């Protein structure tokens, strides 16, 4: 399915130091829900520069607390919600241009988007 259903918020890719230890260990980027409103069990896969980081990824939907990505995770989102994807890479992803591939699967559909941007 085309990426316009789950578009990337241009310029939102950032490498941050969430644990305040001096190492930027988390890549964050934002998307917007253009699929619709509702709840579903979803499977999410996250790849950065071709490396599978799904087991090190979390998502934050609108004002909810961030949650680790798990197979079949139950999510609720409303049309227009901002969805932040966070990848804890342990300092392995440096500054510069990166490609992120995100796949979201629900029973009836798969949404996939590939983003290429430069970290702030």
Instruction: Output the CA–CA distances (angstroms, integers) from residue 91 to 99, 108, 112, in the order listed.
Output: 16, 36, 26
The pair of structure tokens assigned to 33 is 């829900």
Query: Do 115 and 29 touch, CB atoms closer than 8 A?
Result: yes
For the entire predicted model, the pTM comes to 0.91
Q: Which CATH class is domain 3-118?
A: mainly beta
Alpha-carbon distance 83 to 99, whole Å? 18
Alpha-carbon distance 98 to 117, whole Å? 6
Domain positions in the chain: 3-118
Radius of gyration of the chain from its Cα atoms, rounded to whole angstroms:
14
Tens digit of each residue's pLDDT (9 = 90 or more) over 47-95: 999 999 999 999 999 999 999 999 999 999 999 999 999 999 999 999 9
């Amino acid at each position: 399915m085309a990426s316009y259903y789950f578009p990337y918020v241009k310029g939102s890719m950032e490498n941050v130091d969430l644990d305040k230890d001096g190492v930027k260990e988390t890549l964050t980027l934002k998307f917007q829900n253009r699929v619709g409103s509702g709840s579903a069990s979803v499977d999410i896969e996250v790849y950065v520069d071709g490396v599978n980081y799904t087991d090190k990824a979390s998502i934050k939907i609108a004002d909810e607390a961030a949650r680790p990505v798990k197979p079949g995770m139950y999510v609720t989102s409303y049309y227009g919600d901002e969805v932040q994807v966070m990848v804890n890479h342990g300092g392995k992803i440096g500054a510069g241009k990166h490609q992120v591939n995100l796949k979201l699967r629900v029973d009836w559909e798969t949404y996939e988007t590939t983003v290429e941007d430069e970290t702030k």
